[in-house]
Amino acid sequence: MTALSQAPTRADSPAAERSLTGSLGTAAIVMMVVAAAAPLTVVGGAAPLGILLGNGVGFPAMYAISAVVLFLFAVGLSAMTRHVPKPGAFFTFVGYGLGRPAGLATAFLALLTYTAIQVSVHGYVGYILSVTVTGLGGPDLPWYLYSLATILLVGILGYRHIDLSSKVLGVLLVAEVAIVLALVAAVTFSGGPEGLSLAPFEPNNVLSGSPGIGLMFAIAAFIGFEATAIFRDEAKDPARTIPRATYIAVIGIGVFYTLASWSLVMAWGPSGVLAQAAEDPGAMILITTLKFLGPIGEVIMNVLLITSMFACVLSFHNVITRYQHSMSNAKVLPDVLGSVHHKHFAPHVSSVVQTTTAAVLVAIFAVLGLDPVLEVFTWFAGVATLAIAILMAITSLAVIVFFARTGTDKRIWNTKIAPALGLIGLAGSAVVIAVNFPMLVSDVNADGAPAFGMVSAVLLGIIVLFPAIGLVQAAVLKRTDRVAYDNMTEAISG
């Protein structure tokens, strides 16, 4: 049988100069991927929108439902990490399970996913910084200057060893989780205006409003947890560290989001939370914090919202650079992207390329006059949400096929049942997201119903284009450079 692999390095490019090394433990990897999920940004930004545009009081249940589906996905993902000892995550696993063309198509779709979510948050953080600085009496500078400054700082950290990024992310993550838990505790002890209840989990509330929209916001909040496998070469004990980090990340994120959004509902009461979200969804978390933690708590929350977004883009920067590194070593991206810095042991060229890509995209959005929140953030977060659901569904299928063909793992739950259930849940989620996609990009009829207009067509077209590039490249390589095509795979024992 065949499996996706890093190709042999050239004589003038020693393996030592193209291999990533490190000693990241479970905690460091968990912090890396949970930071990408941006818990405070989700609680402060996505949760109010999920309540307002989704299923209202029942929105917290969507986080629990999403966590269950993604846990099932994580079971198969973790099983693959034990039997496929290579980085690359989606790229590698789909290549092993479904073959070279599918793996390459998935790789390009993954690059689109992570680039889209990163640049969307760059737009949001630029806007927040601009408003905050202006509000404090500072100069009124356009959002994109703050975005470009953030990109530069992220690029500097991404250029250096991964341990530095993990330490920065760890500090920021602990701080944002702590402030949210303090708010949860304050709401719980106060009892809220209508008392504490399980109203968000009652079936009539879960199915109220637009549960499909709620599901979109919920799944989008988990983007990043699955990237644990990307850091395999930099993990201390990858066979144990990667599966453990994956489970901790998805369970931890699911519990945290469910608890935090439940407390947000309790803070205003089931009968009043929708009105509060409608009044100002962007400021809802700050208003809630002011109400329960006072002015000092509000200031801390505002600062940590900004650092949460920074942690998010830094984490995704590291993920993207490692995807490009793996693809380069598989000879499907330029060879230079696979090089590793002799001192920092980081894929420094890949980091510079990703920094440049983000800066160019932000510059283009600025020239086009796009709104940093309503267009840059919303549109590209929508692209990433649909793309990640498709990626996970394809990966679940690849897991099932891989173990059915190789028989290397006899655990039925890990290799068949859980991945199959995850596939069903993710495929269903992808369909729901696709149908409601126009809502994310404001393509609606006069009555508010989804309508596939120009914006939807272009963004959905991008989601189709990127995997198509991978399929075309695979076909071209197969016909014109069979050595390069074959170097994407190597024989392994069954």
Output the pLDDT for position 188.
Answer: 95
Output the pLDDT for position 442.
Answer: 64
pLDDT greater than 70 at residue 165: no
| Structural domain total, the chain | 1
210 CB-near residues (< 8 Å, 6+ apart) = 53, 54, 55, 436, 439
pLDDT greater than 60 at residue 163: no
SS3 readout for the chain: CEEECCCCCCCCCCHHHCCCCCCECHHHHHHHHHHHHCHHHHHHHHHHHHHHHCCHHHHHHHHHHHHHHHHHHHHHHHHHHHHCCCCCCHHHHHHHHHCHHHHHHHHHHHHHHHHHHHHHHHHHHHHHHHHHHHHCCCCCCCHHHHHHHHHHHHHHHHHCCHHHHHHHHHHHHHHHHHHHHHHHHHHHHHCCCCCCCCHHHCHHHHCCCCHHHHHHHHHHCCCCHHHHHHHHHHECCHHHHHHHHHHHHHHHHHHHHHHHHHHHHHHHCCCCHHHHHHHCHHHHHHHHHHHHHHHHHHHHHHHHHHHHHHHHHHHHHHHHHHHHHHHHHCCCCCHHHHCCCCCCCCCHHHHHHHHHHHHHHHHHHHHHCCCHHHHHHHHHHHHHHHHHHHHHHHHHHHHHHHHHHHCCCCCHHHHHHHHHHHHHHHHHHHHHHHHCHHHHCCCECCCCCECCCHHHHHHHHHHHHHHHHHHHHHHHHHHHCHHHHHCCEEECCC
pLDDT greater than 80 at residue 309: yes
Output the pLDDT for position 440.
Answer: 65
**Range with the poorest average pLDDT among 69-73, 82-86, 115-119, 338-342:** 338-342
User: Of residues 354 and 3, which shows the higher confidence score?
Assistant: 354
Domain that holds residue 347: 2-491
**Range with the poorest average pLDDT among 38-42, 94-98, 137-141, 431-435:** 38-42
Question: The tokens 């100002």 sit on which residue?
Answer: 280
pLDDT greater than 70 at residue 493: no
C-beta separation of 107 from 470 below 8 A: yes
pLDDT greater than 90 at residue 259: yes
Residue 61: which of 207, 219, 250, 200 has the closest Cα? 200
User: Of residues 364 and 10, which shows the higher confidence score?
Assistant: 364
C-beta separation of 379 from 368 below 8 A: no
User: Of residues 229 and 466, which shows the higher confidence score?
Assistant: 466
Output the pLDDT for position 16.
Answer: 42
b/e code 23-48 from CB counts within 10 Å (16+ = b): ebbbebbbbbbbbbbbbbbbbbbbbb
Output the pLDDT for position 2.
Answer: 31
- CA 420 to CA 427: how far, in whole Å? 10
Q: How confident is the model at residue 492 (pLDDT cuts 50, 70, 90)?
A: very low
Read off the pLDDT of residues 197-242 as tens digits, 9 standing for 90 and up: 999 999 999 998 888 888 888 888 888 776 676 666 666 666 678 7
C-beta separation of 175 from 375 below 8 A: no
The average pLDDT across 276-297 equals 88
Output the pLDDT for position 10.
Answer: 40
Output the pLDDT for position 373.
Answer: 79
Output the pLDDT for position 7.
Answer: 36
Output the pLDDT for position 465.
Answer: 95
Q: Assign residue 128 the CATH number of its domain.
A: 1.20.1740.10
C-beta separation of 348 from 159 below 8 A: yes
Going from the C-alpha of 472 to that of each of 53, 99, 104, 108, 210, the distances in angstroms are: 39, 14, 9, 11, 38
Q: How confident is the model at residue 356 (pLDDT cuts 50, 70, 90)?
A: very high
Q: How confident is the model at residue 494 (pLDDT cuts 50, 70, 90)?
A: very low
Output the pLDDT for position 224.
Answer: 74
- CA 46 to CA 50: how far, in whole Å? 6
Read off the pLDDT of residues 397-427 as tens digits, 9 standing for 90 and up: 999 999 999 888 888 999 999 999 999 999 9
Cα 151–Cα 156–Cα 158 angle in degrees, nearest 5 = 90
